[in-house]
Amino acid sequence: MRVITGTARGRKLETLEGNDVRPTTDKVKEAIFSVIQFDIDGAEVLDLFAGSGQLGIEALSRGAKSAVFVDNSKRSLDVVSRNLETTGFKERSVLYNMNSVDFLQTTNKKFDIVFLDPPYKNDILVQILPIIENKMNSFGKVICEHEKNLKLPEEINRLRLKKNYKYGKIEVTMYCINEGDE
């Protein structure tokens, strides 16, 4: 696993080992970032269910202003911390070792881009998306990586499903804040 482009291009990233771990492939990561490439510069990013932190780190490498990494696994956040050291982005990052719902219910921070890559087959996205909507800045984007054929709602308050991409056994769904509701 590596940073694809930007100031940390080519830096190798550490990941956890195990059956529950499924890092985003370079192919999927490249596809995600090609869709949001013009929204990254200066963005406030949230990497919820951070894992190794690779999506937030990729955003930082491409010019995001800051990133918040949230994971309920201390081991995962230790990996994120080491990856931030390796890439030199520690000063532009904040890490929270807590449950994603608890974080969203307690933070006052607003975000431009949110990455959601939760454990599969537990319907957490349906629970999280309505809460995330309140944490988004105008013209914000929410990128959800999930198992193929998971049916997500077309609309969630100001969030509107814009695109759905399929890559083998996974799908990436992108929501945008409906600018007409601002």
Distances 83 to 24, 64, 80 between C-alpha atoms, Å: 15, 16, 5
Q: What is the distance between the alpha carbons of residues 43 and 29, in angstroms, rounded to a whole number?
A: 17
Q: Say if 33 falls within a structural domain.
A: yes
In a domain, residue 16? The reply is no
Of 4-18, 86-100, 103-117, the range with the lowest mean pLDDT is: 4-18
pTM: 0.92
Kindly state whether residue 176 falls inside one of the protein's structural domains: yes
Q: Measuring CA to CA, which residue among 90, 124, 128 is closest to residue 111?
A: 128
Q: Is the pLDDT of residue 181 over 50?
A: no
Q: Is 15 part of a structural domain of the chain?
A: no
How do residues 99-147 score in pLDDT, each as one tens digit? Answer: 999 999 999 999 999 999 888 766 788 889 999 999 999 999 999 998 8
Is the pLDDT confidence value at 40 over 90?
Answer: yes
pLDDT band at 22 (very low <50, low <70, confident <90, very high): low
**Closest-CA residue to 40 (of 14, 58, 17, 21):** 58
In a domain, 98, yes or no: yes
**How large is the angle between the packed helices 74-87 and 54-61, nearest 10 degrees?**
20
21: pLDDT strictly greater than 70: no
Confidence of residue 47 (pLDDT cuts 50, 70, 90): very high
| Percent share of the chain, pLDDT over 70 | 93
- What is the mean pLDDT of the segment spanning 91-104? 96
- Is residue 94 situated within a structural domain? yes
CA–CA dist 29, 52 (Å, integer) = 13
- Domain with residue 109: its CATH number is 3.40.50.150
What number is the average pLDDT over the span 44-72?
Answer: 96
Is residue 8, in this structure, part of any structural domain at all? no
3-state secondary structure 64-129: CCEEEEEECCHHHHHHHHHHHHHHCCHHHEEEEECCHHHHHHHCCCCEEEEEECCCCCCCHHHHHH
Average pLDDT over residues 75-96: 96
- Domain encompassing residue 122: 29-181
Measured distance CA(67)–CA(63) in Å, rounded: 11
23 is a domain residue: no
Of 164, 130, 129, 141, residue with least CA distance to 55: 141
Integer Cα distance of 103 and 134 in angstroms:
13
| Total domain count, the chain | 1
SS3 157: coil
- Report the percentage of the chain scoring pLDDT > 90: 64
Q: Supply the pLDDT for residue 79.
A: 95
